[in-house]
Structure 1
């Protein structure tokens, strides 16, 4: 239900729930054009009257590669190159509440905070916190080697969104001195990058790493250049500047098809962020160097992570070994180094699920957000018991909120 709310000096139409509201598609940055860094918007840049009652678009992307576990949403097709938006879920009590700033996953190629899978109204209501979800540029439009050098556009978008939240979240009842940055999969990877970012680590206080793929390193300049050249070849005679959005996505698919035969990682990647002055090739070491002892870290992996990537043709022991190598080992390595520096760390393995898939990659998302109504066609939840899932969800939500408040 749409409702007008006075938020500071703005009249904002929000989507009202039982004990909370959602302010959808709040613009956090100005679109400066394709392959250009976005520029941060200030509160005073927003219109005096804003309609934030309807879900917004996501950045351009091809179909989700993990639909075999997550299912599909019609909203995934609602795309724009100007989707520089964030979404805020908060209870109707205006006070200094802990803030969860959530970075979606999707292998650097898909996803968006505007998708219903990330609706945070239940989590905000249950734990009396503020939940923020964001869009950031993905794929070749989010990380590309240009003539000017590497452009980590998606990372820049995330930092702009986090800066906006740090500067303005108190208008929505949030405490800017108690912001937890969390993310799942590629979002966890970006969270680790923020822990080590000398210009962004001061914007938040704690971190949550969910299914952190810590074996994946930023692309070298050479690898990025080769990837970008390959994409340009598929686009020829057009270029990244002149091609349509769909032509870029089609060329990106061709690159992915080529990479699938030459991929060293068992987790498909392509246009991931590029090594730069702000992004070290040693992601974990840099995170520890900048934030170790200063920020507490919570992390988890799911029991059957690899079932999402290799659902058939691998025996259980082999899949479990892959899970440990790809997710658990790098996560524990980061946590151990943070603990050695004096940070409080927390780790758990999330289990459950159905007989076929168990608890695969992404199984934790409906548990964290508690929005099971948005996962009605997810194969990973088929045949599961509602009460058991809801109990596991409440437990995870409580653990997260306790960590945020500690």
Structure 2
């Protein structure tokens, strides 16, 4: 078999000269800086430049490596990444086969990771398979996380990560047409905390005309309520770190304070997050009416995986020691079911129904396992290999170890086609071929 060689492609844009890599029918322009920021300051848009854009390493917000993510998804090869507090970068993926003057729908990927870990440019979210199959453009966005992006108050502005994403969307609106994208058809796609961010971008100030549709996967909307006291306490505990110059020391030190907020219950599983009552957001008590008021602005596809919290509960060695079989396993299954509904399922259903009642176009979905070989069903993050494919990146995933890749790929191709249909039109035809693992319906009243 012949291995296709990687070559370069040059985008001559009004923003600058961008050197991209071309391989297997996809052109990738990597790590384009869209904004800059000082520590705990709002981002400032990057200006056009005559400098050539072609980074050799992937910038990433300083973060602590997650042992659970390493186990379930795969190891992070840190030698490929460059820590950068000012993490305002994006990458553009475009099909190589392209008709001049063609304008493709643009899917903007907002990664998850509890507003604490992750990056827009991880191999496990490389969208090349999707771009190649469906003739779409995908833009992957990196933004500030954790202490730098999602914890503030007093002198430190909250929601800096949201402000970063808004700057990325402004860049996309201004320049994506020069990469072949349709600036009038921007679709936000977010998973987990990325979905949470997107839901709140829908009610943020300063986003008018920046996107037309949203796909919200596994957003923990059940954790969004009454976070003010927890955020204030966590901010106070970490106050001494704000002037620390060693970012790696910051990452080690803040983890010591996480147990102090466990008393706040389930929401403490995500100590970083959006903060109501600070720009660009409204007060929490105003949020539902804001979503209803914007219902006719955005097409929405929202949903979850059927066994979300199995990712955390059924993979715990300590819990499996006592709940791994017999009656214990039945208790574990019931706990997964209840917590999945509380954090993900019920909030998604309420969101969709409120949106539809207000006149919005909204679809609600649920992804099931459908595979008897999977002991944890359809957990958090199982949607990622379905959407992004890329078998080589997922080969060491514990989450997929009992599932044949052929099964993932077969269902993934159909799911990618459905999501691309929604991206193009805002609708999903009843006649479209859907994977057996997907249950989806339009919410109407």
The answer to whether TM tops 0.5 is: yes
2:170 is matched with which residue? 163
What is the deviation of 1:147? 3.5
What is the deviation of 1:79? 2.1
In structure 1, distance between residues paired with 2:41 and 2:179: 30
1:252-272 CA-partner distances (Å, limit 9, x unpaired): 11122333x424116711122
Match of 1:350 among 346, 367, 370: 367
1:397 is matched with which residue? 416
In structure 1, distance between residues paired with 2:32 and 2:286: 30
Match of 2:247 among 221, 228, 245: 245
1:86 is matched with which residue? 90
1:273-295 CA-partner distances (Å, limit 9, x unpaired): 22214323258515523421221
In structure 2, distance between residues paired with 1:211 and 1:297: 14
Alignment of 1:23-102 (within 5 A): 23-31=29-37, 33-42=38-47, 45-51=48-54, 54-64=56-66, 65-75=68-78, 78-92=82-96, 93=98, 94=100, 95-102=102-109
1:71-110 CA-partner distances (Å, limit 9, x unpaired): 2221486422133210110112152100101110000110
Compared CA separation, residues 190 and 392, structure 1 to 2 (3 A): same
Instruction: Tell me, yes or no, if the aligned pair for 2:224 and 2:267 is still in contact at 8 Å.
Output: no
Compared CA separation, residues 386 and 221, structure 1 to 2 (3 A): closer
Compared CA separation, residues 71 and 214, structure 1 to 2 (3 A): same
What is the deviation of 1:249? 0.9
In structure 1, distance between residues paired with 2:406 and 2:141: 30
What is the deviation of 1:383? 2.2
Unaligned runs of 5+ in 1: none
- Farther-moved stretch of structure 1 (289-298 vs 396-405): 289-298
What is the deviation of 1:211? 0.3
Unaligned runs of 5+ in 2: 1-5, 315-319, 324-330, 426-445
Per the alignment, in what secondary structure is the counterpart of residue 293 of structure 1?
coil
What is the deviation of 1:341? 2.2
- Farther-moved stretch of structure 1 (70-79 vs 122-131): 70-79
What is the deviation of 1:222? 4.6
Compared CA separation, residues 220 and 320, structure 1 to 2 (3 A): closer
What is the deviation of 1:245? 0.6
2:28 is matched with which residue? 22
In structure 2, distance between residues paired with 1:89 and 1:267: 36
Alignment of 1:246-265 (within 5 A): 246-259=248-261, 261-265=262-266
- Asked whether 1:360 is paired with 2:362, we answer no
Per the alignment, in what secondary structure is the counterpart of residue 109 of structure 2?
strand
Compared CA separation, residues 290 and 258, structure 1 to 2 (3 A): same
Instruction: Tell me, yes or no, if the aligned pair for 1:201 and 1:291 is still in contact at 8 Å.
Output: no
2:198 is matched with which residue? 191
1:296 is matched with which residue? 299
In structure 1, distance between residues paired with 2:7 and 2:225: 42
What is the deviation of 1:163? 1.0
What is the deviation of 1:150? 3.7
What is the deviation of 1:66? 3.0
Compared CA separation, residues 219 and 254, structure 1 to 2 (3 A): farther
Instruction: Tell me, yes or no, if the aligned pair for 2:40 and 2:148 is still in contact at 8 Å.
Output: yes
Superposition TM-score, scaled by structure 1 size: 0.91
Match of 2:131 among 102, 124, 127: 124
- Asked whether 1:384 is paired with 2:385, we answer no
What is the deviation of 1:20? 1.3
Per the alignment, in what secondary structure is the counterpart of residue 165 of structure 1?
helix
Alignment of 1:3-14 (within 5 A): 3-8=8-13, 10-14=16-20
- Asked whether 1:330 is paired with 2:347, we answer yes
- Asked whether 1:319 is paired with 2:319, we answer no
What is the deviation of 1:50? 1.9
Instruction: Tell me, yes or no, if the aligned pair for 2:8 and 2:20 is still in contact at 8 Å.
Output: yes
In structure 2, distance between residues paired with 1:149 and 1:142: 10
Compared CA separation, residues 24 and 55, structure 1 to 2 (3 A): farther
What is the deviation of 1:134? 0.9
Per the alignment, in what secondary structure is the counterpart of residue 338 of structure 2?
helix
- Farther-moved stretch of structure 1 (65-74 vs 304-313): 65-74
1:374 is matched with which residue? 393
Match of 1:308 among 303, 307, 311: 311
What is the deviation of 1:21? 0.8
If you compute each CA radius of gyration, which structure gives the higher value, 1 or 2?
2
1:211-241 CA-partner distances (Å, limit 9, x unpaired): 0111122665554332111112xx4xxx412
Instruction: Tell me, yes or no, if the aligned pair for 2:9 and 2:22 is still in contact at 8 Å.
Output: no
Per the alignment, in what secondary structure is the counterpart of residue 12 of structure 1?
strand
What is the deviation of 1:333? 1.0
